[in-house]
Amino acid sequence: MDWSVGYREIAPDRAFKNAIFCLWVSVMPGDGAEPTQVLPDACTDLIWQSGAGAFVAGPDTGPVLDARPPGTVLVGVRFRPGAGGAALGVPLDELLDRRVDAEDLPGVPRGRLPGSLSPDEALRRMAVIGAEMVTERPPDPLVLGTARLLAHPGARADAVAARLGIGERQLRRRCQAAVGYGPRTLSRVLRFRRFLTRVDAGGAADLAAIAAEAGYADQAHLTRESTRLAGLPPAALARARG
C-alpha cells in the first residue's frame, strides 16, 4: 500500500460491494495541514486512527471540519447508504452528525483495532472486520433498493415508495434506521453528490447545465442546497475543491 501523504480509495471484495462502498486511507502531512471539510454522502464510516484506535463517523447532514494531528494515518471502511445501521448494530438516526467511539457500538468487534497497529495491519484488519460485519448483519434490501432508485436524477421519494410497494411512513422508518434519515433527505444528499462528482471531474464551467443534469429544478435550487449541505454556494465550493 502507498502510505505517502494523501487520500486513496480501495475497491472492496466483489462479494461485499452491495454493502461496502470502499476501503480508504488518508495520511496527513507531517508539517500540519488545514482541516479537511467532510461533506454529506449518505454513507457511514468505521475509521481507525493511528495512535488512537477506532471510531465511527455517523451520517452527516451538513459540512464537518475534521482536524487531525500532523502525520496521522486514517484507515476506513465506508458502508453504502442503507448498510451502516445493520452493520453497526444500531439505528443510524442515533448517530446522526456524530463521531462515536467504536467500542461503544455493538456491531464493531472489540479490541481488534487498537491505535498501536501498523497502518498495513490496520488496513488488513479493517477489510476483514468490514466483511464480517456486513455478513453477520446484512443490510435491509428494501433500503438498498431505495438508495439505488434515488441515485437517479429526477427520482422522487414518494414515487420510490409506490414502486417498491411500501407505504411512505414505513419506508421513512426503515430508512431512518438504516441510513440515518428519511428518503427525502437521502434524495437531497445523493443529488448533491451527483453535483460534486461532476465538479470533481472538472465540469464546473457551466453550473446551470450541471444543476439540470444532477436533478435540480434550476441553478437557484442548486445554490440553496449547496449552501445548506456544504456551507458554500456552488461556485465557491467548486473553487475550494479545485
pLDDT at position 146, please?
Answer: 97
> 43, 46, 39, 240: which is closest to 132 by C-alpha?
46
Sequence ranges of the domains in the chain: 6-136, 141-241
pLDDT, averaged per 10 consecutive residues of the chain (242 residues), comes to 94 97 96 85 98 98 94 97 97 98 97 98 98 98 96 90 93 97 96 94 82 94 97 93 80
Alpha-carbon torsion angle 149, 77, 91, 58, nearest 10: -100
pLDDT at position 1, please?
Answer: 87
pLDDT at position 28, please?
Answer: 94
| Amino acid (1-letter code) at residue 17 | K
Q: Are 45 and 54 in contact (CB under 8 A)?
A: no
pLDDT at position 36, please?
Answer: 85
Q: Quick one: three-class SS letters along 209-242?
A: HHHHHHCCCCHHHHHHHHHHHHCCCHHHHHHHHC
| Amino acid (1-letter code) at residue 188 | R
User: 186-205 burial by CB neighbour count: b if 16+ within 10 A, else e?
Assistant: bbbbbbbbbbbebbeeeebe
Tell me how far apart the alpha carbons of residues 59 and 41 are, in angstroms, rounded to a whole number.
Answer: 8
CA distances from 233 to 26, 66, 111, 126, 228 (A): 27, 20, 43, 36, 9
> 73, 99, 95: which is closest to 2 by C-alpha?
73
Q: Are 84 and 43 in contact (CB under 8 A)?
A: yes
Q: In what order do the strands lie in the sheet with 6-10?
A: 6-10, 20-27, 73-79, 44-49, 53-57, 99-101
pTM for this model (two decimals)? 0.94
Q: Are 209 and 122 in contact (CB under 8 A)?
A: no
pLDDT at position 202, please?
Answer: 79
Identify the architecture of domain 141-241 in CATH: Orthogonal Bundle (1.10)
